[in-house]
Amino acid sequence: MKDVNENNAGKLSLEELEVLIEKYFEGETTGEEERCLRAELSDCAYRSSLIDDCLVAMGYFSVGRRAEREKTVRARMTLFRRAASAAAMTAVVLVLGLTLFKSNEVLVEDDCIAYVGGEKISDKDKVIAMVESELSSIGETVSEDRNSIMDELSGIKGILSE
């Protein structure tokens, strides 16, 4: 068995640990060996009925440490889940926001611009003149067309009356 007084930092084997535990139960451990045993049990990967008995016998310290560790892990997991949910929600909001922004092309509320063959025109007067010209050209086309329909109808009317 390792000399626990000289090698506190080292991990004991299951056999060494059980020897130490037996020594503990017989009341033959020194203070240093007991501290070493507590340290070993608080972070023990081995399982045996002797270890379990010792954990119980040593009481709150080891079991408490283990429970505390589990509690910490659970708390970390909860925190991680909350952080993941928050991140996912933020991502969804961002994606939706950007999608809506892009799709509707949110307009600047005081804008008056035109593009002619890719060239940007920001002169308000020129842009307004373009709008007026656009509307009047439509008006002309529609009214000329209406006149042409009226001409056709009057032509038909003339034929019918002959």
Partner 1 sequence: MKRVVTLILMCVIFTLTMNAQDRLQVLKLFGRYRALPDVVEVHVTGKEAKSVKLDVYRSLSMPATIDEAKKVQQVVVKDGVKAKEKEVEYRGGQLYYGFYVLSPIVKYDAKRNRYLFFLNQSLAKKNPVDRLIVIYMEGKADVDYIKGLIRK
20: Cβ–Cβ under 8 A, 6 or more apart, which residues?
1, 4, 12, 29, 33, 36, 37, 40
65: Cβ–Cβ under 8 A, 6 or more apart, which residues?
42
Residue-by-residue DSSP string for 38-60: HHHHHT-----HHHHHHHHHHTH
8 CB neighbour count, 10 Å cutoff: 14
| Listed ranges 8-16, 33-41, 58-66, 107-115: which one lies at the site for partner 1 (CB under 8 A) | 107-115
- Decide whether 47 or 120 has the Cβ nearer to partner 1: 120
| Listed ranges 13-21, 37-45, 63-71, 99-107: which one lies at the site for partner 1 (CB under 8 A) | 99-107
Given candidates 15, 76, 134, 150, which one binds partner 1 under the rule CB under 8 A? Answer: 134
**Is 124 among the residues that bind partner 1 (CB under 8 A)?**
yes
**Is 159 among the residues that bind partner 1 (CB under 8 A)?**
no
- Dihedral sign (CA 136, 139, 145, 147): negative
The two structure tokens encoding residue 39: 């340290």
**Is 131 among the residues that bind partner 1 (CB under 8 A)?**
yes
- Decide whether 6 or 110 has the Cβ nearer to partner 1: 110
Rounded Cα gap, residues 87 and 116, in angstroms: 44
3-state secondary structure of 120: strand
Residues within window 50-79 making contact with partner 1, judged by CB under 8 A: none
**Is 3 among the residues that bind partner 1 (CB under 8 A)?**
no
- Decide whether 9 or 106 has the Cβ nearer to partner 1: 106
**Is 128 among the residues that bind partner 1 (CB under 8 A)?**
yes
Q: What is the binding site for partner 1 (CB under 8 A)?
A: 81, 84-85, 88-89, 92, 96, 99-100, 103-105, 107-118, 124, 127-128, 130-131, 134-139, 141-145, 147-149
